[in-house]
Chain A
Amino acid sequence: MPHYDKHFDKELQTLKEDVLRLGGIVEEQVSNAIASLMNHNIELANQTIARDHLVNKTEVEIDEMCIDLLARRQPMGADLRFVTTAIKIVDNLERMGDMAVNISERVLELAAEPQLKAYLDIPRMGEYCTSMLKNALDAFVTSNTALAQQVRLEDDQVDALTHQIFRELLSYMMEDPHTIARATRIMFIAKYIERIADHSTNIAEMVIYMVEGRIVRHTEPHMPPAK
């Protein structure tokens, strides 16, 4: 149902579109960072680093828009939950953008040396992580809590892969200390991807709050929802 004040509707719509626009940019940044690793694409890594300013700029713009809405409209109920969720989502998106930059920086460092091993689990993590981000944003746009819940559950897969990569790299390093520099950088990348997935999980949890008014942060996703 629309608001009596049509301008308010328009402002909320603009906010939603802008959050999605930032989400789109960050999705691309994350995909490009992972692709630059897989394809040894230094140019793409550099491009990802250079584009971070756009993420930062958009984040600040949306943040200001939210503060302005809070000050002028003093939203209540669903509107209040929507605006406060938007503030938190853009904060998470901006951090994800930083992680994409960090991945790209490690890619540049790794490019200076021969590849340590074939990357098998990292692209799998990358797939989870980009699909989680996409689903978290879709859940936000469509107020789909079932999809948000799915994102929360997927985070376990990413965590499991991170541990697997860690164990594998550990064996490389124990076997040959010359691999430590490279293995550590790969470990960092795995950790960055894992962090990105955590931020998607945060967004999914905020969507649940936005729709149901229920705070599920710091609870296990497998637990039945508290009524």
Chain B
Amino acid sequence: MDISITAPMDATTGEVAVNVRRLNFYYNHSHQALYDISMDIHRKKVTAFIGPSGCGKSTLLRCLNRMNDVILNTRIEGDILINGSDIYKEGVRLEALRKRVGMVFQRSNPFPMAIFDNIAFGPRMRGMKDKAFLAEIVERSLKQADLWKEVKDRLGKSALDLSGGQQQRLCIARTLANDPEIILMDEPASALDPISTAKIEETIQVLKEQYTIVIVTHNLQQAARCSDYTAFFYMGKLLEMDMTGKIFQKPSVKDTEDYITGKFG
């Protein structure tokens, strides 16, 4: 089977933000979690990774900003190029990489500090001290994450007092404050109620005008609603990647069709 899959380029932009080339990934030295993955992730588009549990979609997501580096006994082969440069080559500074490639997790993880300080955390770590400038970044990031109106009068209050949905949007805002190019989202709405989920999805639609977004989700309807491209993974392999409308109406691979119609997984 040809597993070097590239979704058709969108005629309007046609730009690739991330190239994954012949990627293999192993846990515990020998357990192979990803097999020869090749894919292009398009700039300023939303790409959804779908597939049954254990298919490798989250593993691949974590490879994109080297989150897997912190796990012991892992091994990676192949290349991941972001804007043409290999993120696994020697000398790549992880903080700089993760500034460019931000991540939002399944469980929101606000720092136990004020809302303002949560958002300002990244810029401060990078040495930014100008208060007016920090305030500007905090306001802009919260507005982008559609949280500003709800928290603007209590920026000094603890972020832990926010609701689950608000906390998740806070985490998105915190990522945005670092001015990333790419935002990775691992099941960002799986613990949220439908309204909070809709707000996150709406935020994703606004954000894709400026950022490249990759989202891992078990919720197929969510992938169908908010992504431009969908990649289907099964047992560590990328079986199909295409425009989202095509994947959910008439996928080319039978395994994809069986998965989206609830016949296997």
Q: Write the residues of chain A forming the contact surface with B, with a CB cutoff of 8 angstroms.
A: 1-5, 8, 74-81, 212-213
CB distance from B229 to the nearest CB of A (A): 16
Give the residues in chain B near A3, CB-CB below 8 Å.
261-263
The B contact surface, by secondary structure, is helix
B221: interface (CB < 8 Å): yes
CB <8 Å contact, B262 and A4: yes
Q: B221 touches which one: A4, A5, A8, A74 (CB < 8 A)? A: A74
CB <8 Å contact, A81 and B249: yes
Give the residues in chain B near A1, CB-CB below 8 Å.
258, 263-264
Residue of B nearest to A209 (CB): B250
Give the residues in chain B near A4, CB-CB below 8 Å.
262-265
B51: interface (CB < 8 Å): no
CB <8 Å contact, A77 and B250: yes
B179: interface (CB < 8 Å): no
Give the residues in chain A near B76, CB-CB below 8 Å.
none
CB distance from B88 to the nearest CB of A (A): 35
CB <8 Å contact, A76 and B263: no
Which 4 residue pairs are nearest across A and B when measured between Cβ atoms? A213-B250, A76-B260, A77-B257, A1-B263
Known: A3-B261, A8-B262, A75-B261. 17 other contacts (CB 8 A): A1-B258, A1-B263, A3-B263, A4-B262, A4-B263, A4-B264, A4-B265, A74-B221, A76-B260, A77-B248, A77-B249, A77-B256, A77-B257, A78-B257, A80-B248, A81-B249, A213-B249
B23: interface (CB < 8 Å): no
CB <8 Å contact, A5 and B249: no
CB <8 Å contact, A76 and B250: no
Interface string of B215-231 (1 = CB under 8 A from A): 00000110010000000
CB <8 Å contact, B261 and A78: yes
CB <8 Å contact, A80 and B262: no
**How many interface residues does B have (CB within 8 Å)?**
16
Q: List 13 A-B contacts (CB under 8 A).
A: A1-B263, A4-B262, A4-B263, A4-B264, A75-B261, A76-B220, A76-B224, A76-B248, A76-B260, A76-B261, A77-B251, A77-B256, A80-B249
Give the residues in chain A near B248, CB-CB below 8 Å.
76-77, 80
Give the residues in chain B near A75, CB-CB below 8 Å.
261
Give the residues in chain A near B251, CB-CB below 8 Å.
77
CA distance A8 to B220 in the complex (A): 17
Q: Write the residues of chain B forming the contact surface with A, with a CB cutoff of 8 angstroms.
A: 220-221, 224, 248-251, 256-258, 260-265
Number of A-B contacts (CB under 8 A): 39
CA distance A75 to B261 in the complex (A): 7
Residue of B nearest to A74 (CB): B221
Give the residues in chain A near B249, CB-CB below 8 Å.
76-77, 80-81, 213
Most buried by A among B248, B261, B264: B261
CB <8 Å contact, B264 and A77: no
Residue of A nearest to B254 (CB): A1
Give the residues in chain B near A8, CB-CB below 8 Å.
262
Residue of B nearest to A82 (CB): B261
Q: B250 touches which one: A2, A5, A74, A81 (CB < 8 A)? A: A81
Residue of A nearest to B256 (CB): A77
CB distance from B241 to the nearest CB of A (A): 16
CB distance from A6 to the nearest CB of B (A): 11
Residue of B nearest to A212 (CB): B250
Residue of A nearest to B258 (CB): A1
CA distance A1 to B257 in the complex (A): 11
Given A213-B249, A213-B250, are A79 and B261 neighbors across the interface (CB < 8 Å)?
A: yes
CB distance from B48 to the nearest CB of A (A): 13
CA distance A79 to B260 in the complex (A): 9
Residue of A nearest to B223 (CB): A76
CA distance A78 to B224 in the complex (A): 15
CA distance A75 to B258 in the complex (A): 12
CB distance from B46 to the nearest CB of A (A): 18
CA distance A117 to B131 in the complex (A): 97
CB distance from A112 to the nearest CB of B (A): 53
Give the residues in chain B near A77, CB-CB below 8 Å.
248-251, 256-257, 260-261
CA distance A77 to B250 in the complex (A): 5
CA distance A80 to B247 in the complex (A): 12
Give the residues in chain B near A78, CB-CB below 8 Å.
257, 261
Give the residues in chain A near B260, CB-CB below 8 Å.
76-77
Give the residues in chain A near B263, CB-CB below 8 Å.
1-4
Give the residues in chain B near A76, CB-CB below 8 Å.
220, 224, 248-249, 260-261
CA distance A7 to B257 in the complex (A): 19
Residue of A nearest to B246 (CB): A213
